[in-house]
């Protein structure tokens, strides 16, 4: 209690300085006066009385110091004094201060910006209540350990049988056409199990979510809107809840509107409908894998326990149904799935890179402060001689550098704050959508920590080198010729070498990224993107597919869809400016669309389905190959004569031909894209026959290969071609309602968009035309993320290089200035200017060389972390390493040459005279 009261008074004493000070003076004066009075009374002369009293009182200053220490908190007090001193120093040299603060601001700001991105994507919980219990539930291919989809009957077993979850929910993505009222529109829709919103903990803004009842066929025609769609199409009218709209030709009741802040983890959607299957729906069977699952763990259950739970259920499914062999269940935190491994890796690499930039900045500014400390060397020596403690001086240096770094941090935070808006605008295209990027408490804390570390790092070197000197030597040294102390110049050299090393590491990273991009763009994509317009027509099955025939796997089921797509092709073909038009169910670079297994009849059949090679299956219409410029290497493309009644034909890609018929002529070979029944488990066949899905005498279509097409990168530029089988949509053996049109044009592709939309509307006014985009734009956006990584890392490397160059220049100029007298003497004694240049160059290049050696070694070790982000280039690519070494060496040499030349032009007479 007593101690507390004392502490409080002492803290208060910090503020009430002036009054307290004066009071002690007064008190001491009165003390002195009383003593003198006493002495006078004892009969001393006034002078003697005064003298003795003064002696007895002792050092007044000393008393005042001791009194002051008791009155306030000494450490804090001196810190405040240091702060005042720091501010005074800044005011005295505002230009210097501004440069330092702005440089630090940029360095710290870049770090804060990167961190705010990392924070929102990797650190902050996903924007759902108790997000730590949200997991992705995935069916994995056990051998390759890649995630795949789940079949509906399996999902229901997991949902109803597991004990580790509050929720297991499933969804799949589908586009739906909204018609009626305004013009038809194609809307990204998620078909979800009814409990999904409860699993995420989402409350509707209006109306309600789904109820279990609504997964029964017949009760399923309800939907939930996002705020975006609600505002855009329904004018944010609250009364739409309860009304019906037409979705894919059927009336659906709007039951709820999601809050504006809602985002679905890992998928874009504007509308949600419940997942329900009609009795006998072929999709609701064990061999249709298309669901993704999300779970909410029960409190206290770990993903491992949930894993074991689900894998137990999987075992019974395998045992009872004879399906899903070779798969395993995996439960992982939802965030890990939403933010993929590559994005995570890239973010961490970029955060490290920007940290490097700050380190280089620090080294540079430390050099700057070191030079300034050298200028204040005598002042410091004097203070040391007068008895200032070294600790006090070090504290003062650190206070100054901390002051710089904290002011820099303020600038940095402002940068982070302002750039957050911009990042939020750009990021949806480039980064997974996980809440918004903004400056929150963790960004503030991070920035403060970075700033403090920066301040300490910045101040330590000058502080110790300035105060660790021998006082006598500095006092004796005349100010003019005082040369750099050996220790300090070594430190300077080390700082420059460190800058060069760090810069090399960053340049290596950036160089590798640039080389990857170059390699990527050089990849033969297999198609010509320029001059091609693409668009998507996804026709409603309700209208264009005969459900009953489809259920019986009849080739006639899709006859109306074929007719529609064919007439669209014909009409677009007639639009002026169109050179060729075709369509396909999955465009290049879109990733895998439709996997199937292929039966080759020119060899013995394997034991079961899993022995069949897998392919990517593509259905095409019109002149697809011609429109995209895909070369037919052998045989012929499809023609309008390949119809339902004509013999079934297929075109394979070169990879298929190479892998399965290397050397042999593929033309005329017979394949099938559905397995013969003898390879399928009997239970499934029986079930299919019983339900009427296939006739008892079912035989898969035998298809003749009529052509070989060039390899096209369907998985992305960085994914090697896999075997592909193309078939004409018109032959109807595998129907699809979703086609992407490719239109090669003679002029600007987008200029034809309206004419084409017009043609589609004339065939079916209710059919929306979606995702109109040039093929070039699709190529660009497929590499946008990689390009961004390259640009950002490149930017950091460029910043690093620039800062390092400034650093080298600064240090060499300083060194030359320091050595000017010596150089003057050399010149006076007849040294050639060339020799002077050589001496200075040697000194500079030694530092740079040391930095380069360390930097190259470090880069070779560190660039390994980039491996998964690179393409077609090794992390220690010699070309890149040599190129950046040359770049650094040449740049450094030029930078050092400038001060060296200045040194050689010194006038020896002036130099000597000034000595």
Partner 1 sequence: MADRSDVKQGTLALMVLKTLETMGPLHGYGIARRIEQTSGQLLAINYGTLYPALLKLEQEGDIEADWGLSDNNRKAKYYHLTRSGRKRIERETREWQRTSAILGRFLAPGER
C-alpha–C-alpha distance, residues 127 and 263, integer Å? 8
Question: Closer CB to partner 1, residue 23 or residue 608?
Answer: 23
Grouping H, G, I as helix, E, B as strand and the rest as coil, residue 572 is: helix
Question: Closer CB to partner 1, residue 52 or residue 89?
Answer: 52
The least distance separating partner 1 from the CB of residue 3, rounded to whole angstroms, comes to 8
27 binds partner 1 per the rule CB under 8 A: yes
DSSP letter at 869 equals: G
Pick from 16, 30, 81, 695: which binds partner 1 (CB under 8 A)?
30
Stretch that binds partner 1, among 26-34, 277-285, 430-438, 714-722 (CB under 8 A): 26-34
**Residue whose structure tokens are 């890179």:** 353
Pick from 17, 21, 24, 436: which binds partner 1 (CB under 8 A)?
24
Q: What Å distances lie between residue 10 and 1, 13, 27, 75, CA to CA? A: 14, 5, 19, 12
Question: Closer CB to partner 1, residue 40 or residue 694?
Answer: 40
Question: Closer CB to partner 1, residue 24 or residue 845?
Answer: 24
C-alpha–C-alpha distance, residues 17 and 349, integer Å? 51
The least distance separating partner 1 from the CB of residue 22, rounded to whole angstroms, comes to 12
The least distance separating partner 1 from the CB of residue 18, rounded to whole angstroms, comes to 16
Contact 226, 273 (CB under 8 A): no
Q: Is 510 left (phi over 0), alpha (psi -120 to 50) or beta?
A: alpha
Grouping H, G, I as helix, E, B as strand and the rest as coil, residue 821 is: helix
Our CA angle for 857, 860, 862, nearest 5°, is: 105
Question: Closer CB to partner 1, residue 63 or residue 102?
Answer: 63
The DSSP element (H or E) to which 744 belongs, if any, is strand 738-745
Q: Give the chain's largest Cα–Cα span.
A: 142
Residues 167-186 binding partner 1 (CB under 8 A) are none
C-alpha–C-alpha distance, residues 122 and 653, integer Å? 40
626 binds partner 1 per the rule CB under 8 A: no
Our CA angle for 113, 118, 123, nearest 5°, is: 135
Question: Closer CB to partner 1, residue 25 or residue 602?
Answer: 25
Question: Closer CB to partner 1, residue 6 or residue 702?
Answer: 6
C-alpha–C-alpha distance, residues 773 and 760, integer Å? 16
The least distance separating partner 1 from the CB of residue 106, rounded to whole angstroms, comes to 47
Contact 701, 692 (CB under 8 A): no
Question: N- to C-terminal Cα distance for the chain?
Answer: 66
Question: Closer CB to partner 1, residue 72 or residue 120?
Answer: 72
Beta-bridge mates of residue 578: 745
C-alpha–C-alpha distance, residues 508 and 496, integer Å? 18
Give the x/- contact pattern for partner 1 in 245-274, rule: CB under 8 A: ------------------------------
The least distance separating partner 1 from the CB of residue 75, rounded to whole angstroms, comes to 17
Stretch that binds partner 1, among 32-40, 75-83, 526-534, 790-798 (CB under 8 A): 32-40
Give the x/- contact pattern for partner 1 in 531-560, rule: CB under 8 A: ------------------------------
The least distance separating partner 1 from the CB of residue 7, rounded to whole angstroms, comes to 9
Residue 176 CB-density burial (10 A; 0-12 exposed, 13-18 middle, 19+ buried): buried
Residue 734 CB-density burial (10 A; 0-12 exposed, 13-18 middle, 19+ buried): buried
Q: Which of 567, 583, 587, 595 is nearest to 620 (CA)?
A: 583
The least distance separating partner 1 from the CB of residue 67, rounded to whole angstroms, comes to 5
Question: Closer CB to partner 1, residue 23 or residue 379?
Answer: 23
Stretch that binds partner 1, among 24-32, 312-320, 377-385, 439-447 (CB under 8 A): 24-32
Residue 677 CB-density burial (10 A; 0-12 exposed, 13-18 middle, 19+ buried): middle
Residue 389 CB-density burial (10 A; 0-12 exposed, 13-18 middle, 19+ buried): exposed
The least distance separating partner 1 from the CB of residue 2, rounded to whole angstroms, comes to 5
The least distance separating partner 1 from the CB of residue 21, rounded to whole angstroms, comes to 12
Torsion angle of alpha carbons 849, 852, 854, 860, nearest 10°? -150
The DSSP element (H or E) to which 578 belongs, if any, is strand 578-584
Question: How many amino acids of this chain bind partner 1 (CB under 8 A)?
Answer: 28
The least distance separating partner 1 from the CB of residue 17, rounded to whole angstroms, comes to 14
Residues 760-779 binding partner 1 (CB under 8 A) are none
Question: Closer CB to partner 1, residue 32 or residue 605?
Answer: 32
Contacts of 88 (CB under 8 A, 6+ apart): none
Pick from 14, 17, 21, 31: which binds partner 1 (CB under 8 A)?
31
Question: Closer CB to partner 1, residue 55 or residue 279?
Answer: 55
Q: How many CB atoms lie within 10 A of CB 754?
A: 10
Pick from 14, 17, 21, 28: which binds partner 1 (CB under 8 A)?
28
Number of H helices, E strands in the chain: 29, 23
Question: Closer CB to partner 1, residue 37 or residue 592?
Answer: 37
Question: Closer CB to partner 1, residue 13 or residue 127?
Answer: 13
Contacts of 651 (CB under 8 A, 6+ apart): 625, 632, 635, 637, 638, 705, 706, 707, 708, 709, 725, 726, 727
Question: Closer CB to partner 1, residue 61 or residue 299?
Answer: 61
The least distance separating partner 1 from the CB of residue 99, rounded to whole angstroms, comes to 45
Phi and psi at 614, nearest 5°, equal: -95, 155
The least distance separating partner 1 from the CB of residue 11, rounded to whole angstroms, comes to 11
Write out the two tokens for 712. 């096209």
Residues 297-356 binding partner 1 (CB under 8 A) are none
**Positive or negative, the Cα torsion across 797, 798, 799, 803?**
positive
Beta-bridge mates of residue 534: 742, 773
Stretch that binds partner 1, among 3-11, 456-464, 488-496, 799-807 (CB under 8 A): 3-11
Write out the two tokens for 442. 């963790």
Contacts of 721 (CB under 8 A, 6+ apart): 526, 653, 654, 655, 711, 712, 713, 714, 715
Question: Closer CB to partner 1, residue 28 or residue 44?
Answer: 28
480 binds partner 1 per the rule CB under 8 A: no
Write out the two tokens for 52. 């003795």
The least distance separating partner 1 from the CB of residue 385, rounded to whole angstroms, comes to 24
Pick from 10, 344, 658, 659: which binds partner 1 (CB under 8 A)?
10
The least distance separating partner 1 from the CB of residue 420, rounded to whole angstroms, comes to 48
The least distance separating partner 1 from the CB of residue 12, rounded to whole angstroms, comes to 10
Question: Closer CB to partner 1, residue 70 or residue 261?
Answer: 70
Question: Closer CB to partner 1, residue 67 or residue 289?
Answer: 67
Distance of CA 461 to the CA centre of its chain: 35
Residues 33-92 binding partner 1 (CB under 8 A) are 33-35, 37-38, 56-59, 62-63, 66-67, 69-71
The least distance separating partner 1 from the CB of residue 71, rounded to whole angstroms, comes to 6
Interface contacts to partner 1, rule CB under 8 A: 2, 5-6, 9-10, 23-24, 26-28, 30-31, 33-35, 37-38, 56-59, 62-63, 66-67, 69-71
């Amino acid at each position: 209690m007593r101690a507390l009261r004392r502490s409080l008074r002492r803290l208060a004493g910090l503020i009430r300085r002036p009054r307290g000070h004066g009071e002690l003076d007064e008190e001491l004066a009165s003390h002195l006066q009383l003593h003198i009075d006493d002495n006078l009374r004892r009969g001393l002369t006034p002078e003697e009385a005064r003298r003795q009293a003064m002696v007895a009182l002792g050092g007044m200053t000393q008393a005042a110091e001791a009194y002051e220490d008791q009155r306030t908190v000494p450490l804090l007090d001196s810190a405040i004094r240091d702060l005042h001193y720091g501010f005074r120093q800044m005011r005295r040299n505002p230009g210097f201060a501004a440069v330092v603060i702005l440089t630090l601001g940029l360095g710290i700001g870049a770090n804060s910006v990167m961190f705010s991105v990392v924070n929102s994507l990797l650190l902050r919980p996903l924007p759902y209540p108790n997000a730590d219990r949200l997991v992705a539930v995935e069916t994995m291919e056990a051998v390759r350990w890649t995630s795949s989809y789940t079949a509906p009957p399996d999902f229901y077993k997991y949902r109803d049988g597991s004990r580790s979850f509050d929720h297991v929910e499933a969804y799949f993505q589908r586009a739906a056409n909204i018609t009626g009222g305004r013009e038809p529109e194609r809307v990204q829709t998620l078909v979800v199990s009814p409990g999904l919103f409860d699993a995420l903990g989402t409350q509707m803004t209006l109306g309600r979510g789904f109820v279990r009842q609504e997964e029964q066929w017949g009760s399923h025609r309800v939907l939930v809107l996002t705020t975006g769609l609600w505002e855009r199409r329904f004018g944010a009218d609250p009364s739409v809840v309860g009304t019906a709209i037409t979705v894919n030709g059927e009336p659906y009741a709007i039951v709820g509107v999601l809050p504006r802040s809602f985002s679905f983890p890992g998928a874009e959607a504007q509308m949600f409908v419940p997942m329900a299957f009609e009795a006998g729906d072929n999709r609701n069977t064990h061999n249709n894998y298309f669901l993704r699952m999300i779970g909410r763990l029960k409190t206290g259950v770990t993903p491992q326990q949930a894993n074991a739970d689900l894998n137990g259920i999987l075992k019974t499914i395998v045992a009872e149904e004879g399906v899903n062999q070779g798969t395993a269940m995996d439960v992982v935190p939802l965030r890990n799935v939403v933010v993929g491994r590559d994005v995570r890796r890239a973010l961490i690499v970029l955060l490290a890179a920007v940290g490097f930039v700050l380190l280089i900045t620090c080294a540079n500014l430390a050099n700057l402060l070191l030079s300034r400390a050298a200028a204040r060397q005598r002042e410091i020596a004097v203070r040391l001689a007068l008895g200032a403690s070294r600790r006090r001086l070090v504290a003062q240096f650190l206070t100054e550098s901390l002051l710089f770094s904290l002011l820099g941090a303020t600038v940095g935070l402002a940068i982070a704050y302002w750039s957050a808006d911009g990042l939020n605008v750009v990021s949806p295209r480039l980064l997974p959508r996980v809440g918004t990027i903004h400056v929150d408490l963790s960004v503030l804390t991070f920035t403060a920590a970075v700033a403090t570390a920066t301040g300490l790092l910045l101040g330590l070197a000058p502080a110790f080198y300035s105060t660790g000197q021998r006082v006598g030597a500095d006092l004796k040294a005349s100010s003019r010729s005082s040369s750099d102390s050996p220790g300090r110049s070594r430190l300077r050299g080390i700082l420059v070498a460190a800058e060069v090393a760090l810069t090399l590491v960053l340049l290596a990273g950036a160089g590798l990224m640039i080389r990857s991009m170059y390699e990527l763009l050089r990849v033969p994509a297999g198609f010509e993107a320029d001059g091609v317009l693409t668009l998507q027509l996804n026709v409603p099955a309700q209208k264009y597919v005969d459900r009953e025939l489809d259920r019986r796997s009849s080739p006639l089921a899709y006859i109306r869809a074929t007719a529609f797509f064919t007439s669209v092709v014909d009409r677009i073909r007639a639009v002026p400016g169109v050179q060729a038009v075709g369509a396909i169910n999955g465009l290049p670079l879109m990733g895998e669309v439709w996997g199937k297994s292929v039966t080759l009849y020119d060899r013995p059949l394997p034991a079961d389905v899993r022995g069949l090679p897998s392919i990517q299956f593509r259905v095409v219409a019109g002149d697809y190959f011609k429109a995209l410029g895909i070369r037919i290497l052998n045989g012929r493309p499809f023609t309008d004569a390949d119809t339902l009644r004509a013999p079934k034909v297929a075109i394979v890609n070169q990879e298929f031909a190479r892998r399965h018929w290397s050397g042999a002529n593929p033309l005329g070979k017979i394949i099938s894209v559905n397995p013969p029944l003898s390879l399928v488990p009997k239970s499934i066949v029986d079930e299919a026959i019983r339900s009427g899905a296939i006739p008892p005498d079912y035989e898969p279509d035998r298809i003749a290969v009529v052509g070989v097409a060039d390899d096209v990168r369907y998985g992305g530029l960085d994914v090697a071609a896999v075997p592909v089988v193309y078939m004409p949509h018109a032959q109807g053996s595998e129907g699809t309602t979703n086609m992407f049109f490719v239109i090669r044009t003679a002029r600007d592709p987008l200029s034809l968009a309206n004419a084409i939309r017009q043609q589609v509307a004339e065939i079916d006014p209710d059919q929306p035309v979606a995702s109109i985009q040039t093929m070039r734009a699709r190529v660009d956006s497929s590499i946008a993320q990689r390009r961004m990584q390259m640009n950002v890392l490149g930017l950091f490397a460029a910043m690093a290089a620039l800062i390092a160059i400034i650093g080298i220049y600064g240090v060499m100029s300083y060194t030359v200035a320091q050595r000017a007298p010596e150089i003057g003497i050399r010149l006076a004694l007849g040294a050639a200017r060339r020799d002077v240049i050589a001496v200075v160059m040697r000194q500079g290049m030694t530092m740079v060389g040391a930095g380069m050696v360390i930097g190259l070694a470090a880069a070779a070790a560190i660039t390994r972390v980039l491996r998964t982000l690179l393409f077609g280039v090794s992390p220690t690519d010699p070309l890149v390493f040599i190129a950046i070494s040359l770049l650094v060496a040449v740049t450094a040499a030029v930078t050092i040459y400038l001060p060296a030349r200045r040194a050689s032009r010194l006038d020896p007479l002036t130099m000597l005279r000034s000595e």
